[in-house]
Amino acid sequence: MADGIGHRPRGLGRMFKATVWSCQGLRAAWLHESSFRLEVYLLAVLAPLAIWLGANGVERALLIGSCLLVLAVELLNSAIEAVIERYGPEFHELAGRAKDMGSAAVFVTMINVLVVWSLVLLPRWL
């Protein structure tokens, strides 16, 4: 939304509102999306492991960042699915394609996790 339209708060007030809305989105994902909860549980296991296994800050950032990217894409996928479901349960080819593409995006970020973790950690063990 453009900042110049209407009487929306600006500056710190706007940042506070945006933070509240973001927290509401995270809460909704936690309450309604089992995939999101599972990915948060995996992050809770993998983040400490990344801190322990990463040799430096860059490696730790890559290991944790790849996992956080999965959460971000899962949130976007859930948003796409929610909008499609808002318009009704009947099948539409484009709706099915959008949902499949959102799911594929999550899958690609999970492959990214495997690639990043492998490229960072495997050279030490080989």
pLDDT band at 5 (very low <50, low <70, confident <90, very high): low
Kindly report each contact of residues 68-73 with a partner whose C-beta sits within 8 Å and lies 24 or more positions away, as own/partner. Answer: 68/43, 69/109, 69/112, 69/113, 70/39, 70/43, 70/106, 70/109, 70/110, 70/112, 70/113, 71/36, 71/39, 71/40, 71/43, 73/105, 73/106, 73/108, 73/109
* Whole-number percent of the chain with pLDDT over 70: 93
Res 34: pLDDT: 96
pLDDT tens digits, 63-103: 999 999 999 999 999 999 999 989 888 889 999 999 999 99
Q: Is 74 a catalytic residue?
A: yes
Determine which one of 39, 74, 85, 93 is catalytic: 74
Structure confidence at residue 93 (pLDDT): 94
Task: Please check whether the domain covering 34-125 is classified as CATH 3.30.1370.100.
Answer: no
